[in-house]
């Protein structure tokens, strides 16, 4: 029995949720998000909360039960609080700046990297060595942060590159003479 799946998702004040068949639409102060569940689960809206139940006892139905509940909870969290990923840049001369809808990264290449920020997320640079990615869709926020990190991932010898805030980089010892 799914411990996560059997908990109902509470819908806070100021947020409206609509369930039509397998589709859940959540509207809140930050925007609107939609999730379509598989046919293995039943979604119901009652008493200001959304409940998910499996349609059978198959392994797939039990897997989709907890996952669907987590996805619906992410919709509610996204339209109320939003999601945020913070990145740090380490390295001499490495820096970031936002100009309009383009993130300009100086990462030790012979040229500046221009990263176009997709619609649905906002990227800010509070300092030259910090990047903050915010939005209401957790998948999109995580993907944009991963795409930015991909330009110069942290290397294990000096630790230079772009890393998530608080990420531990396993350091290696260099060559010895």
Per-residue pLDDT of the chain (177 residues; tens, 9 = 90+): 668 888 999 999 999 999 998 999 999 999 999 999 999 999 999 888 999 999 988 999 988 999 999 999 999 999 999 999 999 999 999 999 999 999 999 999 999 999 999 999 999 999 999 999 999 999 999 999 999 999 999 999 998 999 999 999 999 998 888
- The CATH code of the domain at 83-164 is 3.90.930.12
Which residue ranges does the chain devote to CATH 3.90.930.12? Answer: 9-80, 83-164
Residue 175 has a pLDDT of 87
Q: How many residues are given for the chain?
A: 177
CB-based contact 102:112 (threshold 8 Å): no
Residue 33 has a pLDDT of 93
DSSP code, position 128: T
Distance CA 1, CA 160 (A): 45
Distance CA 37, CA 21 (A): 9
Q: What is 9-80's CATH number, 3.30.70.1560, 3.90.930.12, 3.40.190.10, 1.10.10.10?
A: 3.90.930.12
Q: What are phi and psi of 117, to 5 degrees?
A: -80, 125
Distance CA 153, CA 161 (A): 5
Residue 1 has a pLDDT of 64
46 three-class SS = strand
Nearest of 119, 81, 122 to residue 98 by alpha carbon = 122
Nearest of 154, 36, 132 to residue 84 by alpha carbon = 132
DSSP code, position 117: P
Residue 128 has a pLDDT of 94
């Amino acid at each position: 029995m799914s411990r996560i799946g059997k908990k109902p998702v509470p819908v806070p004040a100021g947020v409206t949720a609509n369930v039509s068949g397998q589709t859940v639409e959540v509207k809140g102060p930050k925007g609107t998000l939609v999730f379509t569940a598989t046919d293995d689960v039943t979604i119901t809206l009652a008493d200001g909360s959304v409940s998910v139940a499996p349609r059978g006892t198959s392994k797939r139905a039990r897997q989709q039960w907890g996952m669907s509940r987590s996805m619906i909870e992410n919709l509610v969290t996204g339209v109320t609080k939003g999601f945020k990923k913070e990145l740090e840049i380490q390295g001499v001369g490495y820096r970031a700046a936002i100009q309009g809808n383009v993130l300009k990264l100086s990462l030790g290449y012979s040229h500046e990297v221009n990263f176009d920020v997709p619609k649905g997320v906002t990227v800010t640079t509070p300092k030259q060595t910090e990047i903050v990615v915010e939005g209401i869709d957790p998948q999109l926020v995580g993907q944009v942060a991963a795409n930015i990190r991909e330009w110069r991932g942290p290397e294990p010898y000096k630790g230079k590159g772009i890393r998530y805030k608080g990420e531990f980089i396993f350091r290696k010892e260099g060559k010895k003479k």
